[in-house]
Homo-oligomer: A and B are copies of this chain.
């Protein structure tokens, strides 16, 4: 980790930079995969699965037998943990249900909004060594709560043609039934266009590697919505002299182990704390199975010494995906946060609790997007439609306003749509 003592404001922009993934070169590779899937459907999916996942599948659909078998392969301890986490996630997202009132903006002019679930959504869950079943909960639970009619889940098969049982188990307790063995860009293509086996969806959620990210970006330009732009994961820890250095170090490492392009930032007004944390990081990292990855990530990472006011200002400029405030005045500082994905307040709130089980969503804006985006929420699976209903009297009340404005915008037909009704005898008599 690089240490910066009281950097000037004009250096902050550079300090806010994330490791850049170069993905432009992937455009044509991924575009080709998308076109193949669009053209050849399941056949293309099977060929790409054979090539990339090294397994030949006769059937892409996970059958109900495989799902019920998965239950036997997951330990009881893990099952209990998953259920408890699912309850918390359910409770937190259920609280987000909200039906706005109707309003009569003028006599006879009634307007309202209605939250309508997105009918068809897709969830992508990466495969590989670490089965991200927690993401199944984070995306599947709000999708179900929103009332999406069709939820499709795609995840790559392993060398034996199986999806990890913990993923299948999590999907089954959430109530997702349409699960397909396909990963990578070809899975994104399948959900965007639909194939013989896999239904088309209107919005695709979920993390993935650079191929998946690029595919999501490309299909989003063609009309399929995506959850949010993706970048490597990151944490910023604000700590003061009272923070326990071993906690801070563990929090930094828990983010660093995600991937070599992760970034972790410590901002503190205490040089002694900074020194202790760096010592602790060096001590704790050797215990980690993913120490090489974490060590790579630490190279992109920094320690900043800043007074408390500047520390908050820097955090808001950085707009971290995860922000841990481990200070004695954490509650007060939390009030001053305007740009962050999820905030963890006080010494007992490690980021890991939000990654799994506190109830908040772990699909969060990275790469500074927290300046303009929030994380995945119930609303991510819904959209609001506005409605208005005017009585004849309501139309008469508003008519002149609309006619004046439409004429001033030189849109005469807009004015006419009102005038034709005003002139109509039937209305005048009502």
Contact = CB atoms under 8 A, between A and B. Distances in A.
Interface string A216-251: 010001011100010000000000000010110011
A256 to B, nearest CB: 7
A413 B342 CA distance: 19
Contacts of A117: 338
Given A130-B409, A400-B81, A410-B129, A390 B250 contact: no
A348 B391 contact: yes
A405 interface: yes
Given A81-B401, A288-B416, A413-B256, A118 B372 contact: yes
Interface in A32-60: none
Given A100-B95, A387-B343, A413 B250 contact: yes
A246 B120 CA distance: 37
A339 interface: yes
Tell me if A's interface is mostly helix, strand, loop or mixed. mixed
Given A390-B353, A406-B356, A371 B78 contact: no
Contacts of A351: 417
A25 interface: no
Interface string A106-131: 10010101001111100000000111
A358 B109 contact: yes
A119 B410 CA distance: 34
Interface string A348-363: 1111111111111100
A392 interface: yes
**Interface pairs A-B: 3 shortest CB-CB:** A225-B372, A81-B404, A374-B383
12 contacts: A119-B371, A130-B409, A134-B409, A223-B229, A223-B369, A257-B412, A284-B416, A288-B412, A349-B395, A355-B402, A356-B401, A374-B383
